[in-house]
Amino acid sequence: MGVGIIGIGTVVPPKVLTNYDLEKMVDTSDEWITTRTGIKERHIADSNVNPSDLGAEAALKALKMAKVEPEEIDLIIVTSASLEMIFPSMAAVIQNKIGAKNAGGFDLLSACTGFVSSLITGAQFIRSGDVKTVLVIGTEVLSRFVDWEDRNTCVLFGDGAGAVVLREVGDGYGLLSWDLKLDGSGADLLAIPGGCAKNPCSEEVLKNKLHYIKMNGREVFKFSVKVLGETTEESLKKAGLTPADLDWLIPHQANIRIIETGAERLGIPIDKVAINIHKYGNTSTASIPLALEELVLEGKIKDGDILALVGFGAGLSWGSAVLRWKNIES
């Protein structure tokens, strides 16, 4: 059974924070940020906008494209690195907001690999025969978890959301193969260490800024460049394909140097790589759907094209999904 994407929707907050704005906030420059990350600007949510708000808006856009009513959704999978609350699940909050009264669901936590993991998981539910329609949402308000005095992290992240509707799309189309991996020995390389059971909210946690993103940039860069190519090749191999068969590489938008180096190692021309990090920064679970939707709306993806969606991030976690694209009916 082929399971694929029949609708996609994304949203970013209207407020834009440019590198020139950041120059006034921390010791940095547009040249420094652009050279090292490829980012020119990022979108920041207002204080009254939560991840579930962005996720619900993206979901409704995806449902509209898919011509699916909220009541038809069987399962909602939400993935996020910027949880609204520890519980209830964001899937439950969004289910209520969009009126998906017949849906079950849950949150799947895998940081920047989360969208790939959730897409794979949703496809397996449909293949089981127990559900027909799955809504996958990646949504982030990472700006709330950034130390705006730390120039090494505050320049990287942006807010946004992306959603896809999954259904059967016909044999030979949709998800062809996948790969998911973990290496928990690197858990401390990228983390928000405070605010949960290990380091509950306290004066000490706040004083030491443990409720903000902490990252070993050098080690995370080395890891990301390595696994981007490895997991892509592994998924392609499982599908009986090679990098030469790829029409589009759609990687997590973490850093332009990671993306370019990974593509070069795979031997994939840069014009076959989805890149929009300059506009949005690192939006974690939302970055892949944001990049995918651009290609879809611009008509760059054709029926039968082979796509590789690749995620990597905290955990350490990484993974990829290879799909044969089925054109979305207009």
Provide the annotated active-site residues. Answer: 112, 252, 282
Residue 218 CA to residue 165 CA, distance in Å, equals: 36
Cβ-based burial of 23 (10 A; exposed 0-12, middle 13-18, buried ≥19): middle
DSSP for residue 232: H
Q: How many other β-carbons are positioned within 10 Å of the β-carbon of residue 21?
A: 13
Residue 288 CA to residue 140 CA, distance in Å, equals: 12
Instruction: Give the amino acid at 87.
Output: F
What stretches of 188-295 adopt beta strand conformation (E)? 190-191, 214-215, 248-251
Residue 19 CA to residue 2 CA, distance in Å, equals: 43
Residue 250 CA to residue 252 CA, distance in Å, equals: 7
Residue 96 CA to residue 163 CA, distance in Å, equals: 16
Residues 247-281 as b or e (16 or more Cβ within 10 Å = b): bbbbbbbbbbebbebbbebbebeeeebbbbbebbb
Residue 232 CA to residue 243 CA, distance in Å, equals: 8
Residue 159 CA to residue 278 CA, distance in Å, equals: 13
Residue 113 CA to residue 108 CA, distance in Å, equals: 10
Residue 94 CA to residue 75 CA, distance in Å, equals: 12
Question: Any residues with CB less than 8 A from the CB of 83 and at least 6 apart, and which?
Answer: 51, 90, 107, 109
